[in-house]
Amino acid sequence: MNEMLDKPLPRISPDTKPFWDGCAQHRLLLPTCVDCDKPHLPPGPVCPFCFGDQLEWRPSKGLGQISTFTVVHKAWFPSFAGEIPYNVVQVELDEGPRLSSALVNMSAGDLSIGDRVSVVFVELGPMTLPYFEKS
């Protein structure tokens, strides 16, 4: 557990706090523009498409596909050294935005771009992070 606690935690800003609060409730929330209806990531203070100020947090279905990935073989973080080689993915949600994450229960050779995935939530110390698993 100490090893888990040593992993870097996400930084929380006023713009991203609702996202992480949603994860704690096992909900993947996307900041969505009330004016143009488009969701975006990473969470920002305004809509990057129409520059509107009115955003609301709408639930994502948590489904998407792997748009790219890598497998890390180098021990940059001591807290990840025991997991080498481990995967990191970018997931394109069906709603459009992409986020970085990782697949759970996945051996590194089994990853392909285009694989369908769905969100799962994993506790990391005091926080809950979105991970994905193959659908």
Partner 1 sequence: MRTRVLPKAAIVGIGCSPFGRSLPQSQLALGAMAFKAALADAGLQRNDVDGLSLHLGWPLGSDYDRYAEAFGLDIRYVNQTWLHGRFTAQTLQSAAFAVASGMADVVACITAVSFTRERGFLGGPNDVEGNREEGGSHGESPPYGLTAPAGGAALAMQRYMHLYGTTAEKLAAVSMTMRHHASLNPQAILQKPLALEEYLGARMVVDPLRLYDCSLINDGAVVVLVTTDERARDLGQKPVYISGMQGIRAGREEFIFAPRGMGINQQSGVRVPARSEDLEIFASAGLDRSDIQGFYTYDAFSPLVLFALERFGYCGVGEAADFVQDGRIGLGGALPINTSGGLLAEAHVAGWNSIAEMVRQLRGTAQQRQISSAKALHWGTSWGDGVILTNERRA
Largest CA distance in the chain: 47
Give me the least distance between CB of 59 and partner 1, in Å please.
20
Give me the least distance between CB of 107 and partner 1, in Å please.
13
Site string for partner 1, 76-115 (x = CB under 8 A): xxx-x--x-xx-x-x-x----xx-xxx-----x----xx-
Chain residues in the site for partner 1 (CB under 8 A): 7-11, 13, 40-42, 48, 67-74, 76-78, 80, 83, 85-86, 88, 90, 92, 97-98, 100-102, 108, 113-114, 124, 129
